[in-house]
Amino acid sequence: MTFRVQLCGGADLRSAAGALGLVLANDGKPDLALIDLRDDASLACAAELPPTLPRVAVVGEAQLRLARALGVPGRAVSTSSEPAALGPLIAAAVPREARRSTRSVLITSPRGGVGRSLLVSNLARRLAVTRSVFVLDLTGTGAVAWWLGSEGGSWAELELLAHELTGEHLAVVAVEAGPGIRIAGGAPRAATPRLAVAAARAALEVAEMVLLDAPTIADPAAVAVSEVVDRILLLTYDDPVSVATLAATTAPEGAWLIASQSRAASLAGRDAFRSLPSDEAAVAAAAGRRGPVGGALGRGYDELAELLRIDAS
């Protein structure tokens, strides 16, 4: 779901909104207001908003008792400004027609070798349990197909069709990689930006969710596709070079920043949406059978897949 939110509050609400991937409504047309009722400036800000705009408020203990006594719906108020507490309240408060469910997800990173292909293959396996998944390998490596125990395809036969690519074309060249998962693209060449965008659109015609294993965020194909997908996952390490690279990146608004092999809660001044632990044993076991990653890293993937499932509903 992509919500546009009006913030009336301070740094903790801003950081919760960032961690939840909410887009700030800068054009004055929000779907929802997120208000900190514990401070006067925020109260004044909220008083200016249209009365019909749905609101989620962070309140103090005394205000919570007042809200209960007045019969204010419990789901609209929270005494915590943590993303985990606010997320479900926000999801419940936004009117159905304002929701746009996430169906296409771009997995990219400021630098290479951070675990994108591993993440895509593991999200695909988990999401495919409940919905059809199309994986697009924009990298030209075939790594995601390898992790899915499959052959992978090639962009070669699609490049000439880029201007008129349909879901059917993609389905013809796609490779089945287990129940509910199809893959298009792979070695030996990466997709051009034009083909990457065409494939992202076409795959949505034939699958419920589309996951794109992309090159780094500075790559022209990743830049082009980031304009058309519903959700961007930006995976990064927390070493000094990665942090500097992230700082130099114009991360798209609403992207989920994910710390890889890290416990960092924030990177380059931005809140991490989630972090994935380092788990060499689980990766080695998965590589041995070209199967899903288990262990602590697998639980991290489970959690992200669940969040995407909520985002997609």
Ligand X SMILES: Nc1ncnc2c1ncn2[C@@H]1O[C@H](COP(=O)(O)OP(=O)(O)OP(=O)(O)O)[C@@H](O)[C@H]1O
Contact residues toward ligand X (CB under 6 A) are 109, 112-118, 139, 141, 143, 260-261, 276, 278-280, 283, 297
Least distance from ligand X to the Cβ atom of residue 29, Å:
37
Handedness of CA 110, 111, 117, 122 (dihedral sign): negative
Least distance from ligand X to the Cβ atom of residue 103, Å:
22
Give the three-class secondary structure for 292.
coil
Least distance from Mg ion to the Cβ atom of residue 144, Å:
7
Q: Which is nearer to Mg ion, 116 or 169 (CB)?
A: 116
Q: Which of 255, 265, 307, 268 is nearest to 106 (CA)?
A: 255
Count of CB atoms situated within 10 Å of the CB of 24: 16
Least distance from ligand X to the Cβ atom of residue 286, Å:
9
Among 66-74, 126-134, 142-150, 291-299, the segment contacting Mg ion (CB under 5 A):
142-150
Q: Which is nearer to ligand X, 144 or 210 (CB)?
A: 144
Among 46-54, 67-75, 141-149, 225-233, the segment contacting Mg ion (CB under 5 A):
141-149
- Which helix (H) or strand (E) is 173 found in, with range? helix 167-173
Q: Which is nearer to ligand X, 59 or 138 (CB)?
A: 138
Q: Which of 231, 234, 240 is nearest to 216 (CA)?
A: 234
Count of CB atoms situated within 10 Å of the CB of 45: 17
Give the span between the Cα atoms of 268 and 264, in whole angstroms. Answer: 10
Judged by beta carbon distances under 5 to 8 A according to partner kind, the member of ligand X, Mg ion, none in contact with residue 37 is none
Give the span between the Cα atoms of 82 and 19, in whole angstroms. Answer: 9
Judged by beta carbon distances under 5 to 8 A according to partner kind, the member of Mg ion, ligand X, none in contact with residue 153 is none
| Residue 199: burial class (beta carbons within 10 Å; 0-12, 13-18, 19+) | buried
| Residue 171 near residue 136 (C-beta atoms within 8 A) | no
Give the span between the Cα atoms of 259 and 152, in whole angstroms. Answer: 28
Q: Which is nearer to Mg ion, 167 or 291 (CB)?
A: 291
Least distance from ligand X to the Cβ atom of residue 293, Å:
8
Q: Which is nearer to ligand X, 86 or 251 (CB)?
A: 251
122 binds Mg ion (CB under 5 A): no
Q: Which is nearer to ligand X, 134 or 301 (CB)?
A: 301
Least distance from ligand X to the Cβ atom of residue 278, Å:
4
**Residues contributing to the site for Mg ion (CB under 5 A):** 116-117, 143
